Amino acid sequence: MDCTHLLIEDTGAVRRITLNRADKLNALNRALLGELGSAMQQARHDDAVRVVVLAGAGEKAFVAGADITEMADLTAAQAQAFSQQGQSLMRSIETLGKPVLARIHGYALGGGLELAMACHLRIASTRARLGQPEVGLGLIPGFGGTQRLVRLCGRAAALELCLLGAPIDAQRAQQLGLLTRVVAPEALDAEVDAIATQLASAAPQAMRHILACVIEGSECALDQALAFETQAFALCFAGSDMREGTRAFIERRKPLFDGH
């Protein structure tokens, strides 16, 4: 696909997608949202891709937010469409069926934090700053921030971040459950690469079922979620990955999963 605002690179089964608007701190405009949506759909349907890493270009930001210069003149109807476009993208990432990692350095604010929260794992450097500052613009988060913050961190933290609008540091974000791991800036790439490599060698079908059970099941009543888990557990036995994994364990060797 032709991309103006993205850099896409494959290393083995890991696809790295870099938001490439460093001069704008990788701010999300409609064009970038569209390109990223297409890139995620391409990754979804490419069996050679087992893991996706999202990163931001430059040294200052993962994503500093939505593009305020583009938002400033939107009508209410246009703003609704913009919100829907952003929410659709975030949901497509969350339900990709493959692990998506956010590599976070510098600022992850507004739409940038919402993008990070849609990812399954968030690895950040100690220099990361995260927040939902929309209230200072007379706005609210519009790409799912109010809802994913509640689900990840609880109501108190969601209200703190959205009502006060002040960014928090990486240590505080990890305490709240926003970040999976926090490492020194010089160790960030190695940590992301190590996790992505580990995930790329795991059983794709098992990971797909784990993601579905955790993400979709957490929205259901417990009995429904348990039934969903039982069905996913049984489906693992219908595929070759489970047979390979159990054989490898018995034979004391490393499994080679084919994703079926």
The enclosing H or E element of 183 equals strand 181-183
* Same domain flag for 99 and 151: yes
Give CA–CA dist 72/137, Å, rounded.
Answer: 10
User: Please, which residues bridge with residue 16 across strands?
Assistant: 9, 53
pLDDT digits (tens, 9 = 90+) for 139-170: 999 999 999 999 999 999 999 999 999 999 99
* Same domain flag for 98 and 215: no
pLDDT digits (tens, 9 = 90+) for 50-101: 999 999 999 999 999 999 999 999 999 999 999 999 999 999 999 999 999 9
Residue at 1 is within a domain: no
pLDDT digits (tens, 9 = 90+) for 4-32: 999 999 999 999 999 999 999 999 999 99
Q: Which of 77, 45, 57 is nearest to 6 (CA)?
A: 57
Question: Which residue segment(s) compose the domain that 208 sits in?
Answer: 204-251
Taking a C-beta distance cutoff of 8 angstroms, is the pair 152, 177 a contact? Answer: yes
Give CA–CA dist 154/148, Å, rounded.
Answer: 9
* Same domain flag for 209 and 147: no
* Same domain flag for 144 and 175: yes
Residue at 257 is within a domain: no
Whole-number pLDDT of residue 131: 98
* Same domain flag for 172 and 232: no
Domains contained in the chain, number: 2
Residue at 76 is within a domain: yes
Residue at 247 is within a domain: yes
Q: Provide mean pLDDT across the span 171-179.
A: 97
114 is catalytic: yes
Catalytic residue among 35, 70, 94, 134: 134
Catalytic residue among 35, 114, 229, 251: 114
* Same domain flag for 161 and 86: yes
* Same domain flag for 177 and 84: yes
Whole-number pLDDT of residue 253: 94
Q: What is the CATH number of the domain that holds 244?
A: 1.10.12
Q: Three-state secondary structure along 49-86?
A: CCEEEEEECCCCEEECCECHHHHCCCCHHHHHHHHHHH
Q: What is the CATH number of the domain that holds 121?
A: 3.90.226.10
Give CA–CA dist 213/227, Å, rounded.
Answer: 10
Residue 1's pLDDT band, with cuts at 50, 70 and 90, is low
Q: Provide mean pLDDT across the span 182-204.
A: 97
Taking a C-beta distance cutoff of 8 angstroms, is the pair 78, 30 a contact? Answer: no
Residue at 48 is within a domain: yes
Place of tokens 């921030």: 145
Residue at 91 is within a domain: yes
* Same domain flag for 142 and 233: no
Residue at 240 is within a domain: yes
Residue at 87 is within a domain: yes
* Same domain flag for 117 and 235: no
Give CA–CA dist 145/135, Å, rounded.
Answer: 12
* Same domain flag for 155 and 215: no
* Same domain flag for 221 and 193: no
HSE value, Cβ hemisphere, 13 Å, CA-based, for 251: 10
pLDDT digits (tens, 9 = 90+) for 89-132: 999 999 999 999 999 999 999 999 999 999 999 999 999 999 99
* Same domain flag for 168 and 125: yes
Whole-number pLDDT of residue 260: 75
Helices (H), the chain: 30-45, 68-71, 76-94, 111-118, 145-153, 155-159, 170-176, 188-200, 204-217, 222-236, 240-251
CA distances from 194 to 9, 35, 181 (A): 17, 27, 12
